[in-house]
Amino acid sequence: MRWEGPAGYWVSDDGSLIDVDRVHGWLSGESYWAAGRPRDVMARSIEYSLVLGLYTPTGEQAGFARMVTDRATFAWLCDVFVAAGHRGNGVGSFLVRTAVEHPDVAGIRQLLMATPGRSLYRRYGFGDLLKPERWMERPARDDEAVPSRSVSAAGHGRRME
Protein backbone atom coordinates (compact mmCIF):
# COMPACT_ATOMS: atom_id res chain seq x y z
CA MET A 1 0.00 0.00 0.00
CA ARG A 2 1.17 3.55 -0.71
CA TRP A 3 0.28 6.77 1.12
CA GLU A 4 0.93 10.23 -0.35
CA GLY A 5 2.43 12.82 1.99
CA PRO A 6 3.76 16.36 2.14
CA ALA A 7 5.95 17.80 -0.61
CA GLY A 8 5.60 14.70 -2.78
CA TYR A 9 7.04 12.32 -0.16
CA TRP A 10 5.29 8.99 0.17
CA VAL A 11 5.24 5.96 2.46
CA SER A 12 4.94 2.34 1.41
CA ASP A 13 4.53 -0.89 3.36
CA ASP A 14 6.08 -2.88 0.51
CA GLY A 15 9.02 -4.57 2.23
CA SER A 16 10.71 -5.28 -1.10
CA LEU A 17 11.33 -1.53 -1.51
CA ILE A 18 13.32 -1.25 1.74
CA ASP A 19 17.04 -0.65 1.18
CA VAL A 20 18.36 -2.88 3.97
CA ASP A 21 21.93 -1.59 3.65
CA ARG A 22 20.76 2.02 3.94
CA VAL A 23 18.50 1.28 6.93
CA HIS A 24 21.29 -0.67 8.60
CA GLY A 25 23.68 2.24 8.07
CA TRP A 26 21.23 4.72 9.56
CA LEU A 27 20.30 2.67 12.59
CA SER A 28 23.64 1.08 13.44
CA GLY A 29 25.65 4.20 12.69
CA GLU A 30 23.41 7.17 13.49
CA SER A 31 20.89 6.08 16.13
CA TYR A 32 21.53 5.76 19.84
CA TRP A 33 19.14 2.83 20.32
CA ALA A 34 20.56 0.50 17.66
CA ALA A 35 24.21 1.57 17.58
CA GLY A 36 26.33 -1.30 16.30
CA ARG A 37 23.39 -3.57 15.47
CA PRO A 38 24.69 -6.26 13.09
CA ARG A 39 23.38 -6.19 9.53
CA ASP A 40 22.01 -9.75 9.70
CA VAL A 41 19.98 -8.84 12.80
CA MET A 42 18.64 -5.76 11.03
CA ALA A 43 17.72 -7.79 7.95
CA ARG A 44 15.91 -10.39 10.08
CA SER A 45 14.02 -7.69 12.00
CA ILE A 46 12.84 -6.19 8.70
CA GLU A 47 11.81 -9.57 7.34
CA TYR A 48 9.59 -10.44 10.32
CA SER A 49 8.04 -7.03 11.00
CA LEU A 50 5.55 -4.71 9.38
CA VAL A 51 7.91 -2.17 7.80
CA LEU A 52 7.28 1.23 6.31
CA GLY A 53 9.64 3.10 4.05
CA LEU A 54 9.55 6.86 3.60
CA TYR A 55 10.48 7.94 0.07
CA THR A 56 11.24 11.21 -1.73
CA PRO A 57 9.27 12.25 -4.82
CA THR A 58 12.03 10.62 -6.93
CA GLY A 59 11.79 7.32 -5.00
CA GLU A 60 14.94 7.62 -2.87
CA GLN A 61 14.47 6.12 0.58
CA ALA A 62 14.50 8.90 3.18
CA GLY A 63 13.22 7.14 6.30
CA PHE A 64 12.05 3.95 7.94
CA ALA A 65 9.70 2.70 10.65
CA ARG A 66 9.05 -0.79 11.92
CA MET A 67 6.15 -2.41 13.79
CA VAL A 68 6.69 -5.61 15.72
CA THR A 69 3.18 -7.02 15.77
CA ASP A 70 0.92 -10.03 15.64
CA ARG A 71 -1.59 -7.81 13.78
CA ALA A 72 -4.30 -8.77 16.28
CA THR A 73 -3.56 -7.77 19.89
CA PHE A 74 -0.17 -6.08 20.17
CA ALA A 75 2.14 -3.78 18.24
CA TRP A 76 5.38 -2.01 19.10
CA LEU A 77 6.47 0.93 16.97
CA CYS A 78 10.26 1.04 16.80
CA ASP A 79 13.27 1.96 14.69
CA VAL A 80 11.66 5.18 13.46
CA PHE A 81 14.30 7.12 11.55
CA VAL A 82 14.33 10.00 9.06
CA ALA A 83 17.60 10.81 7.31
CA ALA A 84 19.11 14.14 8.40
CA GLY A 85 18.63 15.88 5.06
CA HIS A 86 14.89 15.19 5.12
CA ARG A 87 14.02 16.32 8.65
CA GLY A 88 12.13 19.46 9.55
CA ASN A 89 9.46 19.43 6.86
CA GLY A 90 6.79 17.25 8.48
CA VAL A 91 7.76 13.95 6.86
CA GLY A 92 8.66 12.37 10.22
CA SER A 93 5.19 13.17 11.54
CA PHE A 94 3.72 11.80 8.32
CA LEU A 95 5.70 8.56 8.75
CA VAL A 96 4.57 8.09 12.38
CA ARG A 97 0.93 8.93 11.57
CA THR A 98 0.98 6.44 8.69
CA ALA A 99 2.46 3.76 10.96
CA VAL A 100 -0.09 4.12 13.76
CA GLU A 101 -3.00 4.37 11.32
CA HIS A 102 -1.83 1.42 9.19
CA PRO A 103 -4.83 -0.90 8.64
CA ASP A 104 -2.95 -3.89 10.10
CA VAL A 105 -2.56 -2.17 13.50
CA ALA A 106 -5.12 0.66 13.62
CA GLY A 107 -7.58 -1.28 15.82
CA ILE A 108 -5.06 -2.93 18.12
CA ARG A 109 -5.75 -2.42 21.82
CA GLN A 110 -2.12 -2.03 22.85
CA LEU A 111 0.32 -0.09 20.72
CA LEU A 112 3.65 0.60 22.41
CA MET A 113 6.59 2.86 21.73
CA ALA A 114 9.83 3.07 23.71
CA THR A 115 11.35 6.54 23.61
CA PRO A 116 12.18 9.26 26.10
CA GLY A 117 8.94 11.30 25.99
CA ARG A 118 9.28 12.96 22.61
CA SER A 119 6.41 15.28 21.80
CA LEU A 120 6.15 13.93 18.24
CA TYR A 121 4.89 10.60 19.54
CA ARG A 122 2.64 12.17 22.19
CA ARG A 123 0.77 13.92 19.33
CA TYR A 124 -0.26 10.47 18.13
CA GLY A 125 -1.58 9.27 21.48
CA PHE A 126 1.55 7.79 23.04
CA GLY A 127 2.08 8.45 26.73
CA ASP A 128 3.57 6.89 29.82
CA LEU A 129 2.63 3.26 30.52
CA LEU A 130 -0.76 3.16 32.24
CA LYS A 131 0.22 0.12 34.29
CA PRO A 132 4.01 -0.09 34.39
CA GLU A 133 3.79 -2.67 37.16
CA ARG A 134 2.58 -5.15 34.52
CA TRP A 135 5.83 -4.89 32.55
CA MET A 136 9.17 -6.53 33.14
CA GLU A 137 12.37 -6.43 31.16
CA ARG A 138 14.99 -9.12 30.63
CA PRO A 139 18.05 -7.33 29.27
CA ALA A 140 20.59 -9.41 27.39
CA ARG A 141 23.75 -10.17 29.32
CA ASP A 142 26.98 -8.88 27.82
CA ASP A 143 28.06 -12.45 27.11
CA GLU A 144 24.86 -13.36 25.25
CA ALA A 145 25.31 -13.28 21.52
CA VAL A 146 22.36 -13.00 19.17
CA PRO A 147 21.95 -16.57 17.91
CA SER A 148 21.69 -17.34 14.25
CA ARG A 149 18.42 -18.95 13.32
CA SER A 150 17.50 -21.58 10.81
CA VAL A 151 14.18 -20.55 9.35
CA SER A 152 11.99 -22.26 6.83
CA ALA A 153 10.14 -20.09 4.36
CA ALA A 154 6.87 -20.80 6.18
CA GLY A 155 8.44 -20.94 9.63
CA HIS A 156 8.60 -17.18 10.16
CA GLY A 157 11.07 -17.25 12.99
CA ARG A 158 10.43 -20.67 14.50
CA ARG A 159 13.67 -22.54 15.13
CA MET A 160 13.90 -25.65 13.00
CA GLU A 161 15.59 -28.48 14.88
Which residue in 153, 100, 103, 110 sits closest to 135, CA to CA?
110
Kindly indicate the confidence band of residue 78, based on its pLDDT and cuts at 50, 70 and 90.
Answer: confident
CATH number at 2-130:
3.40.630.30
Q: Is 3 helix (H, G, I), strand (E, B) or coil?
A: strand
For residue range 106-140, list pLDDT tens digits in order. 888 777 666 655 666 666 566 666 666 665 555 66
Q: What is the mean pLDDT of residues 57-66?
A: 96
Q: Give 87-91 contacts, CB < 8 A, sequence gap 24+.
A: 89/6, 89/7, 90/5, 90/6, 90/7, 91/5, 91/6, 91/7, 91/9, 91/54, 91/62, 91/63
Q: Where are the domains of the chain?
A: 2-130
Checking if the pLDDT of 145 tops 90, the result is no
Checking if the pLDDT of 161 tops 50, the result is no
